[in-house]
Amino acid sequence: MKPIAPLLLCLMLVVISCNSSDDSTPTANPNLIIKLKFDSNQVRLNNLGQPASIAQGNAAQTPVIQQMSANYIEFAPTATTLLGQGEIIYEGPETTAGGELAIDFQNAILTGDNGVFLSIPLEEVSIGAYNWVRVSLSYQEGDIIIHENNTDITGRLASFLGYNNYITSFSLNGSEFTVNDDVLQGFWAFEALGFTAQGQAPEGATTVPNPLFDTSPVPQGSCVVTGEFENGFTITGNETNDVEVTLSFSINNSFEWTEVNVDGKFEPSAGEQVVDMGLRGLIPSVSN
């Protein structure tokens, strides 16, 4: 056997050295990662961020959320930081194709439970201490149960929560809905066993929890949900690892309707009307 040439031996040692590097080495360009979580056991809040029961004469159920979207995320340093004056880390696409400025649903980011909604370089986030997060939710899609002909049927509900939404068309459980127009907050569509329906919840009926209602109000119809970091959240500028923020939304009895037959079952054919499809609270958490 011929001896290994000195130059070839050096190259082999270099390759071995490179391949044996520690995989846990901190990344040189860490990211801020935003994840969405849907919690059926999280406390159910009202518009003021206070625990809330189901309104008299109504009934509610907890949907199984399949996917969700947001069009605005902002970190706020204090309880008096007004909307738009914090650190805006995400603004979704908008369009005037329907006549007025609206969220462009066709280009929205849709994310499932525990899915990554956003990942941006940490260097794009201003150094500072943040105690609150604001999220303007634009869309949610999930499974609900309706009661028809003495039978419980599972169907898929699409809820448009944004202030104004431009929709060309969308698919729901294999059924196509064509809109080609703007729709305001509260527009919904439903599919079950090939049956489809769509409608509009009353103006102002969508719950938008904001514990900072007195110091930092949000515009009516904006669906900007506010949540507080338990121990605050600080960006130092010296991070070497990714920072992950999980936005946990309460879906605890978040689908609410008026009762005609007082049985706790949603019966559209009996004239029961959807009154609320909003999220019921937001708890953010941080890990790195």
Tens digit of pLDDT for each residue in 184-218? 998 999 999 988 989 888 887 789 999 999 999 99
Tens digits of residue pLDDT in 47-101: 999 999 999 999 999 999 999 999 999 999 999 999 999 999 999 999 999 999 9
Helix (H) or strand (E) holding 190: strand 187-192
What is the distance between the alpha carbons of residues 150 and 270, in angstroms, rounded to a whole number?
A: 12
Q: Give burial (CB, 10 Å; 0-12/13-18/19+) of 205.
A: middle
Q: Which residue intervals of the chain are DSSP H helices? A: 6-19
Structure tokens at 22: 């520690």
Instruction: Kindly indicate the confidence band of residue 248, based on its pLDDT and cuts at 50, 70 and 90.
Output: very high
Q: Residue 6 pLDDT more than 90?
A: no
What is the distance between the alpha carbons of residues 221 and 161, in angstroms, rounded to a whole number?
A: 8
What is the distance between the alpha carbons of residues 161 and 135, in angstroms, rounded to a whole number?
A: 12
User: Residue 12: phi, psi to the nearest 5?
Assistant: -65, -40
Q: pTM for this structure?
A: 0.87
What is the distance between the alpha carbons of residues 112 and 180, in angstroms, rounded to a whole number?
A: 26
Tens digits of residue pLDDT in 18-37: 444 444 455 578 999 999 99
Amino acid at 112: G
